[in-house]
Chains A and B, each alone.
Chain A
Amino acid sequence: MVEPAMTTVITDINIQQTLESMAAEIRQTLAGKQPLLIGIHSGGVWVAEELAKILGSEFFDGDLGVLNIAYYRDDFTRIGMHPQVTPSDLPFPVEDRHLLLIDDVLYSGRTIRAALNEIFDYGRPASVTLAVLIKRNGRELPVQADIIGHTLELTTRPDRLNYATPMASNLSLKIKETQHD
């Protein structure tokens, strides 16, 4: 890949603060429902793990489920087979349960569409609540998040949005817009 010609820091988010306010909202929304926690591979899993730490293991019923939507994407005929795929692992039956679905970024809505399709192949949940760390503009499907950590409005359409998975020692997230020659 060519070196980015220009990098602009768009936003600088305090992750810990954002996660804590998301956790508070989750607690309010799902208290007493014994929800099951599902993270979308890969970014959503990290966010789900962090939220589980804040909310405590007793809030959720069972271990973290991981959803890898590679086989449910709508771009197979355009971009072909993905490289190595870690299979989804939902270590619980979803039938009639309340699910909390976590992803890092909500953008077009296509990932969530694929995730919902996959979840329903496991069974019929009672409800699905979607929480995302970042919601950015550019939605292409009628998919909305219930709980949003941070909303990002981008006026230009960058060809690539970079954001690094934050390190535990440095819980801040810088979102940069990069443009190539």
Chain B
Amino acid sequence: MTNNQLTESGKLKHFLTIEGLKRDLLTDIMDRAEQFSSLSGRQVKKVPLLRGKTIMNLFFEDSTRTRTTFELAAKRLSADVMSLNINTSATSKGESLLDTLHNLQAMHADMFVVRHNESGAAEFIAQHVAPHVSVINAGDGCHAHPTQAMLDMFTIRRHKQHFPDLCVAIVGDVLHSRVARSQIQALAILGVGEVRIIGPQTLLPTDSQTLGVHVYHDMEKGLKDVDVVITLRLQFERMQGALLPSPQEYYESYGLTQAKLDLAKPDAIVMHPGPINRGVEIASSIADGPQSVILEQVTHGIAVRMAVMSMALGSQPEQQDKTA
């Protein structure tokens, strides 16, 4: 993918994918997120940085966590934000995506946060918006979910600090996971020691070799001495054909239980991008257990999204007054 998400001076204009970004930029996102995290201890948890800006969340696909944290992030930056559930509005009346977009742009939107079930949707929108508008990808098909990957990196850094020393295992439905794809790219850019993907053959990408990861089909071997375990949801809605015997059988082989987790390092952390299916990819006792940082990930989503939004809208100030 061409890197049309950066300005000429290398600043973030859109945030569409982790691919092709530099380590400095990812570190900058995490550092800024760290600064925004400190707001949560205040009486007023917001700053007037994006006052007067209009941010529109365009969700063509369901979401709870991502949409809510994007909304909260925009509000904490004092932007005006609205969330549109596009499935149930204009497009169901036959309006094309670009017509919808141009109408929203005519309302002087400064940023679109886009989730879509088609890979490449956010990039398509980024190519067609006015020059002053920024686009953030909140998940497109099986392609990318860059803000989720960054909040995961932020969570790992909070617990483990130094990426080159780490071994990270991603377990489950990697094939259909835009989160895993973005995580693998981010981990590589941050110079992580080793990334393993663990799952049945049918749920791992065929291009695993080119991703620079180690592939395991056996949980016991794959989890041995890892520092971070990332479990993934089985994405039944994206599966075509019979890729799995049954959720119960999957749990037997690949569900994260205490016995399996005990093979990882004693201080290993357990992550999950949500929503979790208890008793399918993870045991309830692990999800709620002392090694789980799943709810921390949710909290970190706000600060990371604040960082990305403020960086994108602060990257090209001179074009501020241009309208659609």
Q: Does B322 contact A (CB under 8 A)?
A: no
Known: A85-B35, A87-B35, A121-B42. A76 touches B314 (CB 8 A): yes
User: B49 touches which one: A76, A84, A86, A88 (CB < 8 A)?
Assistant: A76
Q: Does B43 contact A (CB under 8 A)?
A: yes
Q: Does A80 contact B (CB under 8 A)?
A: yes
Which one of A80, A117, A118, A120 has the greatest number of beta carbons of chain B within 10 Å?
A: A80
Q: Does B317 contact A (CB under 8 A)?
A: yes
Contact B320 A77 (CB under 8 A): yes
Contact A122 B42 (CB under 8 A): yes
Known: A84-B31, A87-B35. A121 touches B320 (CB 8 A): no
Task: Give B118 Cβ to nearest chain A Cβ, in Å.
Answer: 31
Which DSSP category, helix, strand, loop or mixed, fits chain A's interface? helix
Which DSSP category, helix, strand, loop or mixed, fits chain B's interface? loop
Contact A77 B47 (CB under 8 A): no
Task: Give B90 Cβ to nearest chain A Cβ, in Å.
Answer: 30
Task: Give A111 Cβ to nearest chain B Cβ, in Å.
Answer: 14
Contact B48 A117 (CB under 8 A): yes
Q: Mark A62-75, 1 if CB is under 8 A from B, else 0.
A: 00000000011000
Which one of A85, A120, A121, A123 has the greatest number of beta carbons of chain B within 10 Å?
A: A121
Across-interface contacts of B50 in A (CB, < 8 A): 76
Q: Does A31 contact B (CB under 8 A)?
A: no
Contact B38 A77 (CB under 8 A): no
Across-interface contacts of A157 in B (CB, < 8 A): none
A128 to B31, CA, bound (A): 31
Contact A122 B43 (CB under 8 A): yes
Task: Give B179 Cβ to nearest chain A Cβ, in Å.
Answer: 27
Contact A80 B47 (CB under 8 A): no
Which one of B50, B315, B316, B317 has the greatest number of beta carbons of chain A within 10 Å?
A: B317
For A84, give the chain B residue with the smallest CB separation: B31
Contact A72 B48 (CB under 8 A): yes
Which one of A77, A78, A120, A122 has the greatest number of beta carbons of chain B within 10 Å?
A: A77
Q: Mark B20-31, 1 if CB is under 8 A from A, else 0.
A: 000000001001
User: A71 touches which one: B11, B34, B49, B52 (CB < 8 A)?
Assistant: B49
30 example contacts (A-B, Cβ-Cβ < 8 A) are as follows: A71-B48, A72-B47, A72-B49, A76-B49, A76-B50, A76-B317, A77-B317, A77-B320, A78-B317, A78-B320, A79-B317, A80-B315, A80-B316, A81-B11, A81-B310, A81-B314, A81-B315, A84-B28, A85-B32, A85-B35, A86-B35, A87-B34, A88-B38, A89-B38, A121-B42, A121-B43, A121-B44, A121-B47, A122-B43, A122-B44
